[in-house]
Amino acid sequence: MSLLELRHLSKHFGSYKALDNVSFSVEPGRIVGLIGPNGAGKSTAMRAMTGLMRFDSGEVTFDGQAVKFSKTKALAKMGNLIEYPAIYPNFTAEDHMKYYAMDSKDPEDIHELMKLTGIDGDNFGKRKAKNFSLGMKQRLGIAIALVRKPKLVILDEPMNGLDPQSVREIRALIQKLAGQGIAFLISSHLLDELQRLADDVVIINKGKIIRRATMAEFLSEDKAQIKVKTSDNHAMVKAAEAAGWQVAMGSEDDVLITAEEGVNAQAVLAKATEANLEVQDIQTATVNLEDHLMEVLSENSTRA
Ligand SMILES: Nc1ncnc2c1ncn2[C@@H]1O[C@H](COP(=O)(O)OP(=O)(O)OP(=O)(O)O)[C@@H](O)[C@H]1O
């Protein structure tokens, strides 16, 4: 049984269908990226699945139990940073942890959790939250989300506004916790970051789920490209076409050849030599989540 399961969830705002028959699941210990363009329905789905918002039809189960609309009960077993926990300017990190642990029946050991989330260091110490940087607040928010020993943590844009060092630290923290069996559902527009972090992807567009896959499966749908610059790019295109390869003129004074079986950088070099062309530069471009997402979204809107 999945830890979190959404089945045929629909939600209207007036006549606007913000969620249209949305189904997907999250398994224990998996980091799932919920991705889609602005207004696709990510926050609506997150709010509905945590019981923060009523939905019109469908069902959500979490840890074997139906999730119902209820502001108070919603957060009991899911740690969530959709609606940020209140951070009090005059509280230290430890004050926050004690405060939030108190309204939990079975709190995690506070000091261990502070150590795990890195909010126990000199940087935090006796400092009050009004003096915390954004990264420190984000980290504190994650620690608060964990104080109830959740099996699933839902994070809406957890990396927003963080510097690269903090992004790296939060990523390592999430990976460490996932390694301990905690599942994460993360919505983010920082796709490079999600590509590094997520095990699975769920893609939503205009309220509909258009793809569910592991990150590796999703990326493997996209073929790598070989980018080559030669002494005569037009002649290179002709030679590649003659070989039956998929080829196009690139935007950077280069030629783009789709990699497939038998078509790799070495084969392209050999082909250029055969055509008496001088190769000035050759690179194999790695597959990237953002590019592939764009392709999938554009296919989806052509079909729709
Ligand atoms: N309370 C509301 N009342 C009316 N319309 C709403 C409400 N909340 C969301 N919407 C609409 O529902 C759609 C989905 O919004 P949602 O915030 O879920 O998108 P999102 O994928 O989270 O977008 P973003 O990436 O911009 O955060 C949008 O068109 C939005 O305007």
SS3 of residue 223 by DSSP: coil
- Does 191 share its domain with 84? yes
What DSSP designation does 3 have? S
Q: What single string gives the DSSP state of each residue in 25-62? A: EE-TT-EEEEE-STTSSHHHHHHHHTTSS--SEEEEEE
As a whole number of angstroms, the distance between CA 246 and CA 223 comes to 11
- Does 175 share its domain with 232? no
Q: Which residues contact 74 (CB under 8 A, 6 or more apart)?
A: 50, 51, 52, 67
- Does 179 share its domain with 273? no
Among 11, 13, 189, say which to mutate for ligand 1: greatest number of ligand atoms within 8 Å of CB. 13
Q: Which domain holds residue 142?
A: 4-220
- Does 135 share its domain with 205? yes
CATH number at residue 102: 3.40.50.300
Distance 18 CA to ligand 1 centre (A): 7
- Does 110 share its domain with 182? yes
pLDDT at 84: 61
As a whole number of angstroms, the distance between CA 276 and CA 273 comes to 5
ipTM of the complex: 0.95
Q: Which atom of ligand 1 is nearest to the CA of 19?
A: 14
Separation of CA 42 from chain center: 11
Separation of CA 231 from chain center: 41
- Does 198 share its domain with 281? no
CATH number at residue 253: 3.30.70.100
Is any atom of ligand 1 closer than 6 Å to the C-beta of 183? no
pLDDT at 73: 53
- Does 167 share its domain with 18? yes
pLDDT in tens, 36-49: 999 999 999 998 88
Distance 39 CA to ligand 1 centre (A): 5
- Number of folded domains in the chain? 2
- Does 87 share its domain with 178? yes
Q: Is residue 144 part of a domain?
A: yes
pLDDT in tens, 248-287: 898 889 999 998 888 999 999 999 999 999 999 999 887 7
Last residue within a domain, chosen from 168, 201, 220: 220
Q: Which residues contact 90 (CB under 8 A, 6 or more apart)?
A: 128, 129, 130
- Does 198 share its domain with 236? no
Both structure tokens of 64:
């074997």
In this model, does residue 290 exceed pLDDT 50?
A: yes
Distance 11 CA to ligand 1 centre (A): 11
Length of the chain: 304
pLDDT at 103: 65
Contact present, 32 and 15 (Cβ < 8 Å): no
Last residue within a domain, chosen from 220, 255, 278: 220
- Does 157 share its domain with 282? no
Among 11, 44, 155, 187, say which to mutate for ligand 1: greatest number of ligand atoms within 8 Å of CB. 44
Nearest residue to 201 via CA among 277, 104, 303, 292: 292
Q: Which atom of ligand 1 is nearest to the CA of 36?
A: 21
Q: Is residue 298 part of a domain?
A: no
- Does 135 share its domain with 255? no
Please report, as a single letter, which amino acid is at residue 182. Answer: I
Is any atom of ligand 1 closer than 6 Å to the C-beta of 51? no
- Does 37 share its domain with 77? yes
Q: Is residue 73 part of a domain?
A: yes
Q: How far is CA 58 from CA 1, 21, 26, 68, in A?
A: 18, 8, 17, 11
Last residue within a domain, chosen from 168, 186, 220: 220
Among 34, 35, 42, say which to mutate for ligand 1: greatest number of ligand atoms within 8 Å of CB. 42
pLDDT in tens, 224-234: 889 999 999 99
